[in-house]
Each structure stands twice: as C-alpha cells, then as structure tokens.
Amino acid sequence: MTRFVFGTVCTVNLYEKGSEALYNRVFDRLQTIEEVLSANLDSSNISEINNAAGISPVRAAPETMYVLQRAIEFSKKSGGAFDPSIGAVTKLWSIGFEEETVPDNTVLREKTALVDYRDIIINDDEQTVFLARPGMRLDLGGIAKGYAADEAAALLVSSGIKKAIIDLGGNILALGEKDGHTPWTIGIRNPEWGSRTAVFTIPVINKSVVTSGIYERFFEEDGVHYHHILDPATGYPVDNELLSVTIITPVSLDADALSTAAFVLGPEKGFHLIESLSGAEAVFINRDREIRITPGLSGTIQMLDSSFTLAE
C-alpha cells in the first residue's frame, strides 16, 4: 500500500499476509508521528516548541523526547555535523517547498548562528523541551523517517508479521528475509542529478538501508544546484566530493541520522565515523563515480553500472 506521508511517497509491502486493517494501523501510526514531529505543521509538538523558543519550556510528547534525545546523541558523535536545531536555516531555504530560494547572505548568517544542539534544553523529569534562544527552531527531517520506519516495523512484528518492506521516501527497512533464507535485494540508485537507474544492489536481512544524497531534494537557480543537506557551520548546502552516503544498520533511526551526519562530515571524516561504530556499514559514492564500502560489505554488493568503480 502506498500513501503520501512526511511530504513524500511511503510504501509498505506485507506480501501475502497484508490485511487492509493492518495496513491502516501502520499508516495511522506514521500519520501520528508526522502530526507530532513535523516542523511544517503549525499544530505539531515540534512547532509548539519552536514557537516558544527563548520564551518557555514546552511539554514534549514521548516521540519528541525519544527522537530528540537520539538526535542529540548523533550531534555529539558527529561533532555537530548533524544538528536537529538546523530548523531556522532549513526554513529560510525552504528547499522542496514553493518558497524555496537562495537566502540573503546576512540573514543566512543570522539564522546559522542560531544552530547549536547544546542550546536544546531537555528536562527529563518534567518531560519538557526548551530552545534557549529566540528564533531557534528544531527540524527532525534528517532522522524522523528512520524512527517512523522502526515504529512501523515494531507494530508489524507485534502483529505477527515476519517479513515486510517499509519504504518511507527511500528510507528503507527490510523486515526479516525475503523467503526461506533468501535476503532482500535493495537497489541503490545513481545519485547524479536526473538519473533514476540503479548503480548496484545489496542483499540484506532484517536491516535498514538509508541514503542521503544531493539528488533527493534540490532546486536550481542561475545554473547552480542547491540541495537540502546543509552545513551547520555555514548554512549552505554541503559541498564536498560526495554524491551520496548509504548506511546499513539494524535500526532505521540510526541509519537515517548517520547518513545525514556522514554526508556533512565528508568522504574522510564521515567514513571514519561509520568505521568506528559497530553494526553500521556504509557505501559512499563520490563525484568521480568511485564507490567506497566499509569492510563488512566486502564481496556482498552486486554492481549494475560499469561506469562506477568499486574501491575495495
């Protein structure tokens, strides 16, 4: 079944065991998560927190508390490359929305100065979140779809489902195995602008596969492409040698946050971050059509496009 949630196309496939009622429960859960965590809905818990920035703490929903605490954990791990307080900057660019535009440099600098995860004050006892400075804004766009995929999978497992593919706008969670010890085969697309073909496939069992790249959301102005992964240090789209980073982990939230974090950190620091974590594998594709994989993936990926080279 396919529905539009999180501003993107979400597909859940339960194969032979899918009942209409179960599909509806899964999509209801996804919808609820969007209603709580969206930075684009005025009524969401995240918007309440954003609107009270610099004014007062706001009661946080359990989903907000959990995702935000995990987000801050990845901010620390990445030295601030991943930062959920990037909201004032993403709103200014509004990439993917009607009002998308290259911001005025001075305004961009002001908004970028508001980005700092250390100014997100979480009170566990009171279950509140306070953004310390006026104008600060949260944006969980780099992590919340991963969380949503995990929640959808948990709901399916508790309903007795052993295999499913959950695809939330390219954030994929492959539950179980395809059938009798056959892994799922996930295709990774060519991240170059305008391409839609797969570069290689990767076999997975019970894993999430999440990609961050320059191609997912962007606009063009005066011949320049501006994509949606922003450098918290400058406020501009990250400009390094990378086209995309794919992360494979058991937990989708981890893969989502890490793909964004590693993309911002770049080909060297980003790769080292993933190598330092147990249970995480990665595929980095750079502008020279070179593919670099972590040792755990060696011998597993199947190349489909010979114009890309695999550096092992």
Q: Count residues contacting Mg ion (CB under 5 A)?
A: 4
Q: In whole angstroms, how close is the CB of 178 to ligand FAD at the nearest point? A: 24
Asked if 254 touches Mg ion (CB under 5 A), the answer is no
Residue 151 binds: one of Mg ion, ligand FAD, none (C-beta under 5 to 8 A by kind): none
Asked if 142 touches Mg ion (CB under 5 A), the answer is yes
- CA separation, residue 195 to residues 125, 191, 265 (Å): 49, 7, 25
Phi, psi of 207 (to 5 degrees): -135, 160
194-226: buried (b, 16+ CB within 10 Å) or exposed (e) per residue? eeeeebbbbbbeebbbbbbbbbbbbbeeeeeeb
- Strand 309-311 to strand 290-293: parallel, antiparallel, or no bridges (unpaired)? parallel
Single out the segment in contact with Mg ion by CB under 5 A; choices: 34-42, 153-161, 238-246, 258-266: 258-266
Letters for 39-68 (x = contact with ligand FAD by CB under 6 A, - = none) are -x----------------------------
Asked if 173 touches ligand FAD (CB under 6 A), the answer is no
Q: In whole angstroms, how close is the CB of 304 to ligand FAD at the nearest point? A: 22
Tell me the C-alpha distance between 147 and 167, whole Å.
Answer: 12
Residue that is written with structure tokens 């501003």 in the block: 7
Angle separating helix axes 144-158 and 62-77, nearest 10 degrees: 130
Single out the segment in contact with ligand FAD by CB under 6 A; choices: 16-24, 56-64, 133-141, 276-284: 133-141
DSSP secondary structure letter of residue 206: S
Letters for 229-248 (x = contact with Mg ion by CB under 5 A, - = none) are --------------------
The residues near 222 (Cβ < 8 Å, ≥ 6 apart) are none
Single out the segment in contact with ligand FAD by CB under 6 A; choices: 30-38, 47-55, 122-130, 302-310: 30-38
Out of 217, 249, 270, 285, which residue is the one contacting ligand FAD (CB under 6 A)?
Answer: 217
Out of 260, 271, 280, 283, which residue is the one contacting Mg ion (CB under 5 A)?
Answer: 260
Out of 128, 190, 259, 286, which residue is the one contacting Mg ion (CB under 5 A)?
Answer: 259
Q: Which regions of 14-67 does DSSP assign to beta strands (E)? A: 58-59
Q: For ligand FAD, which residue has the nearest CB?
A: 7
Minimum CB distance to Mg ion smaller for 67 or for 161: 67
Minimum CB distance to ligand FAD smaller for 19 or for 62: 62
Asked if 83 touches ligand FAD (CB under 6 A), the answer is yes
Letters for 248-277 (x = contact with ligand FAD by CB under 6 A, - = none) are --------x--xx---x-------------
Residue 229 Cα to chain centre, angstroms: 10
Residue 281 Cα to chain centre, angstroms: 16
Asked if 111 touches ligand FAD (CB under 6 A), the answer is no
Minimum CB distance to ligand FAD smaller for 161 or for 280: 280
- CA separation, residue 169 to residues 13, 135, 292 (Å): 14, 29, 24
Asked if 177 touches ligand FAD (CB under 6 A), the answer is no
DSSP for 63-127, written as a single string: HHHHHHHHHHHHHHHTTTSS-TTBHHHHHHH-TTSTT--PPPHHHHHHHHTT--GGGEEEETTTT
Asked if 137 touches ligand FAD (CB under 6 A), the answer is no
DSSP for 61-75, written as a single string: -HHHHHHHHHHHHHH
168: its two tokens? 């939330």
Q: How many CB atoms lie within 10 A of CB 58?
A: 21
Phi, psi of 102 (to 5 degrees): -75, 120
Contacting positions for ligand FAD (CB under 6 A)? 6-8, 34, 37-38, 40, 82-84, 86, 90, 96, 139-142, 144-145, 171, 212, 216-217, 228-230, 232, 256, 259-260, 264
